[in-house]
Amino acid sequence: MHIFLLLSFVVAGVASITVLETKREKYIAVKLMRMKPAAYMQASLGYRYVSYFIYYIPAMLLFTSLLNVPVLQGMALAVSVTLWRVVCEYLHLKLFQQRGIVLIKINAVVWLAIGLGYGAAYAPIVLNWIPSSGELLLLWPVTMLIAVLGAIAAVQLKRYSDYRTAVEAATKRDDPLLDLGRMFTKANKTQVKSKDMDYTSMVGQTNQFKSREGYAYLNALFFARHRSLIVRPLWNRLAIIGAIGVIGVAFSVIEPERASSLAENWSMGIPYLIWIMNFLSIGERACKAIFYNCDLSLMRYSFYRNAAHRHFRQRLYRICGHNLTLAAGVGAALTGFALAAGGVSSGELLLALVCVFALSVFFSIHHLFMYYILQPYSTELNMKNPFFFMINIVVSLAFVLALILEVDTTALAVAIVSLTAVYYMTALILVKRWGPRTFRVK
């Protein structure tokens, strides 16, 4: 109930508002189809909250029954959350009318509310504390108060006469949210666009690559000229890993008993390293940068596609080097915590480190292999290959099974190392055989 109060009432009251939301449907209906703003907004709000109430009833009846709350109170809770959202719609509209502020467009305020709200909602779980604030929602005086305020807000929204100004503020023609496809395309290209400072910093420094030839020279120049796209995220990840490692060591010193209890369950945490290393890997980001800044032009030539297996190996070694650096950082953080907390055998620590380094190589191979064999990126950097998503889902399910089945640590380490070795050999063979046909512009 505490979580429900903070997320569905407080956070949603700031971040989930329709009346001033930038929406493509609103732009088309009012601007292009010439609907009356008041008619559109009343129909839109009415449909949203009637359907919202209907959808909430089954969820409320289910979860309140699990809490041994009477059915009538469950229905009242569905009414409360619906009418509270109506009150928030009206408050946002009045703030805009009085101050000209579109609160939902102020990202700093919205994300601050989301961050603080979620933190306060889930903090009691970490602190092992059960707050009583959520019980307020089950009090009949509170329900009646929200119902009265919601009814007043609904009447005021029905009578509101200046929806045109509100719609104008939410549907400016140059607002990127009106065309999400354009917004995502621009964001994708900005993410992998090379920086001018990378080129200026390379002036007079190409002599160091003169000993290399062909694709080795090409890739050396590429990774040197696009350091900000690959190396900077690497350093950012290392900084975060270092900070977490320092926090872990400090926690072990301040709370030695809790740290030792965590260390006793060391082997249970090793399967989670799969997800951590997948998240930290820069393989996917590197593939996007390579495609947009290099391969998008060169893929059009048959000689480049036919040599896919040659530049695949060179890029794989480079990406592996970056991911192994991240693995070394994670290994150092784990080692520091293990030594500070105590209770971790050298064998378990060694298995964890083997898993970390093997996983860094595995994900390096996986991301680059998927890029060469399926080439999921279009010229707009959208991913439209269904097999790409299917294979990633299968890989994710395999990792989920490792968590559910609670695989033995030694068996898991052996399996990861073996899969990595097999994946490497398979990738080299398949890229050489199929790369010329699959490595192309779409």
- Are residues 434 and 391 part of one domain? yes
Give the pLDDT of residue 204: 54
Give the pLDDT of residue 47: 93
Give the pLDDT of residue 326: 94
Q: Do 361 and 320 touch, CB atoms closer than 8 A?
A: yes
* pLDDT band at residue 434 under the 50/70/90 scheme: very high
- Are residues 374 and 281 part of one domain? yes
Of 72, 24, 83, nearest to 50 (Cα)? 83
Give the pLDDT of residue 399: 78
Give the pLDDT of residue 312: 93
- Are residues 352 and 291 part of one domain? yes
- Residue predicted with more confidence, 211 or 122: 122
Say what percent of the chain tops pLDDT 90.
Answer: 37
Q: Do 183 and 177 touch, CB atoms closer than 8 A?
A: yes
Question: Of 145, 178, 211, at which residue does a domain stop?
Answer: 178
Of 242, 239, 259, nearest to 338 (Cα)? 259
Q: Is 183 inside a domain boundary?
A: no
Give the pLDDT of residue 181: 53
- Are residues 429 and 303 part of one domain? yes
Q: Is 288 inside a domain boundary?
A: yes
What's CA 409's distance to the chain center, in Å?
Answer: 28
* Mean confidence (pLDDT) of the chain: 85
- Are residues 365 and 223 part of one domain? yes
pTM: 0.62
Q: Is 189 inside a domain boundary?
A: no
The sign of the torsion formed by the CA atoms of 186, 190, 192, 195 equals positive
Kindly state the tokens that stand for 189: 């290209």
Q: SS3 for 383? A: strand
Per-residue pLDDT of 196-254, as tens digits, reads 555 555 555 566 667 788 888 888 888 888 777 888 889 989 999 999 999 988 888 88
Of 186, 160, 189, nearest to 175 (Cα)? 186
Scan for tokens 């690497």, then name that residue: 234
Give the pLDDT of residue 174: 47
Distance CA 403, CA 396 (A): 11
* pLDDT band at residue 149 under the 50/70/90 scheme: very high
Give the pLDDT of residue 281: 92
Q: Is 188 inside a domain boundary?
A: no
DSSP letters along 251-315, please? Answer: HHHH-HHHHHHHHHTHHHHTTHHHHHHHHH--HHHHHHHHIIIIIHHHTTSHHHHHTHHHHHHHH
- Are residues 384 and 331 part of one domain? yes
Distance CA 58, CA 78 (A): 9
Instruction: Answer yes or no: is pLDDT of 187 > 70.
Output: no
Instruction: Answer yes or no: is pLDDT of 7 > 90.
Output: yes
- Are residues 199 and 165 part of one domain? no
- Are residues 256 and 171 part of one domain? no
Distance CA 338, CA 252 (A): 9
Question: Of 117, 144, 178, at which residue does a domain stop?
Answer: 178
Once rounded to an integer, what is the mean pLDDT over residues 66-77? 88
Give the pLDDT of residue 342: 81
Structural domain count, the chain: 2
Give the pLDDT of residue 167: 85
Of 209, 183, 239, 220, nearest to 382 (Cα)? 183
Once rounded to an integer, what is the mean pLDDT over residues 10-38? 87
Per-residue pLDDT of 329-384, as tens digits, reads 999 999 998 888 887 888 888 999 999 999 999 999 999 999 999 888 877 666 66
Question: Of 178, 213, 238, at which residue does a domain stop?
Answer: 178
Q: Is 237 inside a domain boundary?
A: yes
Per-residue pLDDT of 282-328, as tens digits, reads 988 888 888 888 888 898 899 999 999 999 999 999 999 999 999 99
DSSP letters along 316-351, please? Answer: HHHHHHHHHHHHHHHHHHHHHHHHHH----HHHHHH
Give the pLDDT of residue 199: 54
* pLDDT band at residue 64 under the 50/70/90 scheme: confident
Partnered with residue 104 across adjacent β-strands are none
Q: Is 185 inside a domain boundary?
A: no
Q: Is 187 inside a domain boundary?
A: no
- Are residues 202 and 123 part of one domain? no
Question: CA gyration radius for the chain?
Answer: 28
Instruction: Answer yes or no: is pLDDT of 36 > 60.
Output: yes
Query: At residue 331, what is the residue type?
Result: G
- Are residues 217 and 121 part of one domain? no
Residue 103 structural domain? 2-178
- Are residues 107 and 201 part of one domain? no
Q: Is 124 inside a domain boundary?
A: yes
Once rounded to an integer, what is the mean pLDDT over residues 129-146? 87
- Are residues 210 and 352 part of one domain? yes
